[in-house]
A and B are shown apart, each in its own frame.
Chain A
Amino acid sequence: MTEGNRGKGRRLGRLLLLCLGFALFRPAPAAAADPFAGLASPDFSRIEQAVEALAASGNPRAAALIDALAANRLYTWRWPRPDNGLFIKEPDGGFVAARTGEKIATPPFPVIRPVIVNDMVRSAIEAARGMLDLLSPALAVRGKAAEALFEAADPASLKLIDVALARERNPGVRRLLLEAQAAARLNSAATSIAERIAAVKVVAGRGDLPARALLASLGSAPSPVARAAAAAVHQIDRTLALWNVLETVYYGISLGSVLLLAAAGLAITFGVMGVINMAHGEIVMVGAYTTLVVQQVVAATFPAFSNESLILSIPAAFLVAGLLGIVIEQTLIRFLYGRPLETLLATWGLSLVLIQTVRSIFGPTNQDVSSPAWMSGAVHLGGLTLTLNRLWIIAFTIATLALLMAVLSHTRLGLSMRAVTQNRRMAAAMGIRTPLVDALTFGLGCGIAGIAGVALSQIDNVSPNLGQSYIIDSFLVVVFGGVGNLWGAVVAALILGIVNMVLEPIAGAVLGKIAVLVLLILFIQRRPRGLFPVRGRAVEA
C-alpha cells in the first residue's frame, strides 16, 4: 500500500531468497564480515542492514538477538569500541553476551546504552521475523506473507513465488500468490509487454486501495503498460467511489448510533417526563467512570477476566447511574416539577458539582479505559473497512433501544410510566403511586445514560469533561426528533449522523458542524415540535 510496506515486503523477498539459497546450496558460512557488527552502530541504516544480514546468516543466535532488539533489550557500548560488544538484558535484570549467550557476571551497566530502534529498523525486524512465514504450516500466516509480497511488488521475489506456488494447495493463498506474482511482474524488465499488461489486469481485479497504489506508481513504465494501468486506476476509482458512498452511510449510521445512545436516556427524562436535565451529560460521565472502576477492580481481583470486564460494566453502570438518578429525583427534581426554568438552573448547578466531584476523586487527567481485544481492529467487507468498536456500538445501541421499548410497552412499570406522563391525575385516581413512578422513570433514564457512558468510554476520552461534549448533541436529537417520541429520536440521530458525515468531507469538520446547526435551526423554526410531534391530549397536559 505504501512504500514503507513495500520496503518491508521487498526485504522479505530478499531474505526469503537468501534463505532458500542457503537451504538449497548450503554454502560455507561467510567468514569475512561479522554480521553482528552493524548493530553496535548509531546509524539506523547500518542497524537495518545488520538485521537483514543476521536473519539471512542462519546464525543460531539470530532469533534471540532480533527478539531482544525488538524488545529494546539489546545493549552496546555507550562509546564505540573495536569489538562492537553487544549484550542482551535478561528479564531478571542480568546481562548475557549477545554473540555467545554466556552470562556476564558483572553488568557493564554505566558504559552501555540500549540499541535504539526506529520505524525503518522495526520494519526490517518484522521482515526478518516474517521470513519463515511463507513456508509456515498456518494458513493465515502464509496469507499474510503473500499479501506482503504483493505490496512489495519486487521482481526479485518472482522465483520465490514460483517455488511457493508449486507447494501451495489452498485456493485462497494461491490466489494471493498469483496476485503477488502479477504485481512483481509489473516492475520486472525481464517480462514481456504482453505479460505485463496481463499482470495489470490481474492486479486491477483486486480493485482495492493497495492495488490502486501499485498501478498508480506505473507512470514511467513503457507506454502500453502505463496506458493499461491508467485505465485500470480509472476503473478502480469508479468502483471505489461506489464503496465510498456505502462507507459514508456506514459512518453516518455509526455516528448516529453514538448520538442515539447518548440521547436515549434524555429521551426518557426530557422527552417523556419533561424534565430539562442539564446534568444528563454528567450521568453519562459517571457511567464511563463506573466502567473504569469495574475494569480496575476486575484487573486487581480476576486478571484472567479483564477482557470481559466491559460486559460486567454494563449492569454496574446502569445500577450506579440509575441509583444516582433516583437520588437526584428524590432530593432535587421532585420539588421542581412544573418549573422548567428552576429545573434547568438546578440541574446545571448539579452538573458542575458532579464534574468537580469526579475531578477531586479521579484527578483532572484522562483515565485509561483499555479496549478489550474483541473490540479492537476492523473487518473488511468488499471495499469497506468496518472498525469493530463502532460495529459493537451499533449493535449495542440497537439492543439497548429494543430493551427500552420492550420495557416501555410490555411491562407494568412501562404502562404506569406512560399513564403518569399522559395524565397524571387520572393515573393517580386509578391507584398508581405517581411519586414512585416518577422516581423510577427518572432512574431508568439515568441508567440508560450510564450505559451510554460504557460505550463512550471505548471511543472517547474518559475525563471529567466527557459529558459536556454530548449534552448539546443529546438535546438536539431529542428536540429534532420530536419531544416524547423514541422513534423520532432514532430517525433524528440517524439523519444527523449521516448529514454530518456527508458534509464533513465537503466542508471540513468545523464548517460541516456549523452547517448542520444552521439547518437544524431553520428546521425547528418551521416545525417547532420536531420531526414526529406527539399528538393528542398528552400535548396539552
Chain B
Amino acid sequence: MGQKTEEALVGLDGLKLGRREFGGLGMGVAAAAATLGTASLVSRAARAAGDKIKVGILHSLSGTMAISEAPLKDVMLMLIDQQNKTMGGVMGKELVPVVVDPASNWPLFAEKAHELLSVEKVAAIFGCWTSVSRKSVLPVFEQLNGILYYPVQYEGQECSRNVFYTGAAPNQQAIPAVDYLMNQVGVKRWVLAGTDYVYPRTTNKILEAYLKQKGVNSADIMINYTPFGYSNWQSIIAEIKSFGSAGKKTAVVSTINGDANVPFYKELGNQGIKATDIPVVAFSVGEQELAGIDTAPLVGQLAAWNYFESVDTPANKKFIADFKAFVKNDKRVTNDPMEAHYIGFNMWVKAVEKAGTTDPTSVIDAMIGVAHPNLTGDFATMMPNHHLSKPVLIGEVQANGQFSVVYQTPGLVVAQPWSPYLPESKNLIGDWLPPMSCGNYDVVAGRCLGRTQKS
C-alpha cells in the first residue's frame, strides 16, 4: 500500500472516528476529548488519585449461569488478592475488587456495567459469560469508554475497541477440533448439534461453510438445535445413530450448552454408542461442567479447549494449588475461562504499568503487544485485533472427570475474529493499531465499516 493511500485512509478513518465519537459518546465527552484533552486526563487521574484502584467483576452469582460464572469471581478475587500481597497492588496503589451480581439476566448486565463504570468508576471490568450478555453490555462499554476482559470462547464476528477477548475465537477451538477429527480420526460424516442461541448457531454456520469448503457433501452434514436445559434426547440420539449408519465414520460436534449435556451423554451411553463408535467433541464441556456428575458414560469423549486442568506444568500446578487454597476447598476445579482471566488480569496489570495510568484510552493502546506466559506453557500475546494467540488442545474425558490431552496444535494459533469462511466477513480484519484503528476493516473495499457492520 502506497504512502498516499495510507494517508488518505488515515484521514478518512479519522473523520469516521470523529463522527462516531460525536454520536456515541455525547457532545460533552467528545468536546472534552477534543479540546480539553489535558483537563480530562487530569480528572481521570483524580479518579484513581486515592491509594486505591477499583476493578469491576461482572459475573452472575445467581440464576442459571451461576454454575459457570461464580467460580470466575473467585479466581478474580484470588488474582487481585495475590497482586496486592506480592506486588503491593499496581503502581503502588492497592487494588479493590467491586463485585456485582447481574443474576443471569441479560439486560441487568448492561445496568450493572453502567453502574460499575459511571458510579464506581472502576479502571477495568472482568466479566460476562454468554454471548448474549456480552452483546448486552457492549454499547455501555463503547459509550463510556470502559475496558471489558471477556474470558470465554465465543463465536467471533465481533471486534470492539473496548473489549479484550481472552477466550478462543472459532479458529482457536472449533476449526482445529474439526481438523483433528477429519485428519486423525478420519471422520467423513458430521452431526452439528447445538443449543438454540447465538453462539452455537454462528459457530455451526462457520463450521458448515468450512466443511463444505473441505469437500464434505451437504448430505453428510446434519444440523440439530435443541432448547436450553433439554432432557428428552432419545429420538435425537436415535436419529444420530441412523445418520451414522451410512457406512462412513461419523462424529458429533457439540455446541450443546449447560445442563442439557448430562442427559445427552447419559442417553448416548444407554443407547450403546461409545466414543469409539461415534465420537463427540464438545466446545462447552469443561472441568467445571463435569464436576459432580457421573463421568462413566463420558469416558473417551472429546473436548477442545486452550487449557486443561490436567496439563502438567509447574505454573499450572501452582495456579491450581493457589486456587484450592484461596477458596479453601480441595474439590474445586480449574478450567479454561479461569486461565483466560489469569492471562487477562496479568496483561492488564502490565499494560497499566506500561501506560503509567489507568486511563482507559492509554491502557487500551498499551495492551497491544503485551505478552504473558500461558499456564500450559508458551506465551500468550495480545494481538492488534484484541484477541490472544493460543495453543489449542484436544482432550479426552477420563473417569476422574479430568481430560487427557490427545492432540495439541504444533504452535500457537492467532485468532481470526472475522471468519474467513463466511461470505459476509471473509474480507474483514480487526486491527486497533494506528493507522488502521478499526475493528472491521474491509480489505477489498479498503475502508473501515465502522459501527454499521457490528453483528
**Which B residues between 230 and 263 are near A, CB-CB below 8 angstroms?**
230-232, 234-236, 238-239, 241-242, 244-250, 259, 262-263
Q: Are B247 and A376 in contact (CB under 8 A)?
A: no
Q: Which of A1, A501, A513 has the most CB of B within 10 A?
A: A1
A253 to chain B, nearest CB (A): 11
Q: How far is the CA of A501 from the CA of B233 in the complex (A)?
A: 10
Q: Are A119 and B270 in contact (CB under 8 A)?
A: no
Does A347 touch B at the CB level, under 8 Å?
no
A510: chain B residues at CB < 8 Å are 196, 225-227
Q: Are A385 and B259 in contact (CB under 8 A)?
A: no
**Besides A2-B250, A461-B259, 4 other A-B contacts (C-beta < 8 A):** A4-B249, A117-B396, A214-B247, A364-B67
Tell me what chain A mostly uses at the interface: helix, strand, loop, or mixed.
helix
Q: Are B230 and A509 in contact (CB under 8 A)?
A: yes
Q: Say yes or no: A463-B259 contact (C-beta < 8 A), given A216-B247, A364-B66.
A: yes
Q: Which of A72, A113, A247, A460 has the most CB of B within 10 A?
A: A460
Q: Are B232 and A255 in contact (CB under 8 A)?
A: yes
Q: Are B272 and A385 in contact (CB under 8 A)?
A: yes
Q: Are B236 and A2 in contact (CB under 8 A)?
A: no
Q: Say yes or no: A213-B241 contact (C-beta < 8 A), given A123-B276, A460-B263, A501-B235.
A: no
B439 to chain A, nearest CB (A): 32
Q: Say yes or no: A465-B235 contact (C-beta < 8 A), given A8-B276, A378-B271, A459-B266.
A: no
**Which B residues between 166 and 194 are near A, CB-CB below 8 angstroms?**
184-186
B294: chain A residues at CB < 8 Å are 368-371
Please count how many residues in chain A sit with their CB below 8 Å of the partner chain's CB atoms.
63
Q: Are A469 and B229 in contact (CB under 8 A)?
A: yes
A1: chain B residues at CB < 8 Å are 244-245, 277
Does A212 touch B at the CB level, under 8 Å?
yes
Q: Are A217 and B247 in contact (CB under 8 A)?
A: yes
Does A122 touch B at the CB level, under 8 Å?
yes
Q: Say yes or no: A365-B67 contact (C-beta < 8 A), given A116-B404, A387-B270, A505-B239.
A: yes
Q: How far is the CA of A510 from the CA of B201 in the complex (A)?
A: 13
- Ordered by A's residue number, 21 sampled pairs between the chains whose C-beta atoms are within 8 Å are A4-B249, A4-B278, A5-B277, A116-B405, A119-B185, A120-B184, A120-B185, A213-B245, A247-B235, A251-B235, A371-B266, A378-B271, A385-B271, A387-B270, A461-B262, A469-B231, A500-B232, A501-B235, A505-B235, A509-B196, A509-B226
Q: Say yes or no: A210-B263 contact (C-beta < 8 A), given A44-B406, A122-B300.
A: no
Q: Say yes or no: A4-B276 contact (C-beta < 8 A), given A364-B66, A365-B292, A387-B270.
A: yes
B17 to chain A, nearest CB (A): 41
B25 to chain A, nearest CB (A): 39
Closest to B270 in A: A387
Closest to B407 in A: A118
Task: Report, nearest first, the 6 A-B pairs whose CB atoms are least far apart.
Answer: A217-B247, A3-B249, A118-B406, A209-B245, A213-B245, A387-B270
B139: chain A residues at CB < 8 Å are none
Does B431 touch A at the CB level, under 8 Å?
no
A214: chain B residues at CB < 8 Å are 247
Does B275 touch A at the CB level, under 8 Å?
yes
Q: Are A116 and B406 in contact (CB under 8 A)?
A: yes
Q: Say yes or no: A213-B312 contact (C-beta < 8 A), given A368-B292, A378-B271, A469-B229.
A: no
Closest to B242 in A: A209
Closest to B260 in A: A461
